[in-house]
A and B are shown apart, each in its own frame.
Chain A
Amino acid sequence: MEAILYLAALGGFYGLVYFLNHKTPRPEGCEEIEATCSSCSLGHCGNHPSQQIKEIKNA
């Protein structure tokens, strides 16, 4: 069915771009800046501490 093919294509594209972005390191001079978002409890945001540990593991 076209719906499943379409979903797979779109989801695959998103997964690919997400993966590429996750692997690309930040440009020099930018490693220390943190978004000044205080009291952030969104664990899925890319800036959250729980995501940073994974970055170090991958690099």
Chain B
Amino acid sequence: MKSILNYGLNLLKENPVFGLYLGICSTLAITINLNNALGMGVSVIAILTVSNIIISLIRNITPDEIRIPVYIVVIATLVKAVELLIKAYAPAIDAALGVFIPLIVVNCIILGRAEAFASKNGVAASALDGLNMGVAYTLSLVAMSLIRQILATGIVNFTNPFTNVEVFSVTLIPSQFTIPIFSGPIGAFLTFALLAAGVSAIRNHQPKLKEAK
């Protein structure tokens, strides 16, 4: 239980999205509902883990001066492969996310982790780091999309992307009390700002707690 609490606290303090502001372009655009957030999150977990593994495997044979071009080629190939797979097996996600699947290539998290971690550590550690960062990213996306979806439509639903069958649908707020602007740009920026401020407040609070002890 304590380790889960520690993990959760670490997630808040070193959150790649709300703490380091990496990969915010797709965060703001995708998080309209839970389906999109999970679709994007799972894709990023897959791409991040596999790219970390590959880059860690070739880290000793790539010349030091052209690391970045090699990483970009690896990541671009992976993203294109994932995009083609999604187009074939989960067309609902492709229709919802649109151009943001190819834009995973320039998601700062993937290239950033490759450069900072996978190029210096072994395969198992890099794979674990990729999973970790991917899960942190997905949880941030899910948090933001739940807030936006509940406030904007009052309904939380999830559809299986492979079979287009609705898995569950819960109405939490009656439709008279919903605030539709949370689906649009204003709501996106506002939610993100409040979540980022929350994470920043927790970060500022932590050292004071330790001093008080």
The reply, when asked whether chain A contacts chain B directly with Cβ atoms under 8 A, is yes
- Residues on A facing B (Cβ under 8 Å): 7, 11, 14-15, 18-19, 22-23, 39, 41-44, 50, 54, 58
Asked if A14 and B22 sit within 8 Å, CB to CB, the answer is no
Asked if B88 is at the interface (CB within 8 A of a chain A CB), the reply is: no
* A15-B66, A18-B68, A22-B65 known; A44+B112 contact, CB < 8 A: yes
Q: Does B186 contact A (CB under 8 A)?
A: no
B105 to chain A, nearest CB (A): 12
CB distance from B17 to the nearest CB of A (A): 11
- Interface SS of chain A: helix
In the bound complex, residues from chain A placing their C-beta under 8 Å from that of B115 are 43-44, 50
Contacts of A39 in B (CB 8 A): 21
Bound-state Cα–Cα, A7 to B80, Å: 14
Contact B68 A44 (CB under 8 A): yes
Q: Which residues of A contact B71 (CB under 8 A)?
A: 44
CB within 8 Å: A-B pair count: 40
Name 30 interchain pairs, CB-CB below 8 A, sorted by A.
Answer: A7-B73, A11-B69, A11-B73, A14-B72, A15-B66, A15-B70, A18-B65, A18-B68, A18-B69, A19-B66, A39-B21, A41-B20, A41-B21, A41-B22, A41-B108, A41-B112, A42-B22, A42-B108, A42-B111, A42-B112, A43-B112, A43-B115, A43-B116, A44-B68, A44-B114, A44-B115, A50-B116, A54-B64, A54-B65, A58-B65
CB distance from B118 to the nearest CB of A (A): 11
Across the interface, which residues of A come within 8 angstroms of B112, CB to CB?
41-44
Binding site for A on B (CB under 8 A): 20-22, 64-66, 68-73, 108, 111-112, 114-116
Q: In the complex the two chains form, what is the Cα distance from A50 to B20 in whole Å?
A: 17
A39–B73 CA distance with the chains assembled, in angstroms:
27
- Which residue of the partner chain B has the closest CB to A11? B73
**Residue on B with the closest CB to A41?**
B20
User: B24: shortest Cβ distance to chain A, in Å?
Assistant: 11
Q: Which residues of A contact B65 (CB under 8 A)?
A: 18-19, 22-23, 54, 58
Kindly provide the distance from the CB of A43 to the nearest chain B CB, expressed in whole angstroms. 4
Chain A residue at minimum C-beta to C-beta distance from B69: A15
CA distance A18 to B69 in the complex (A): 8
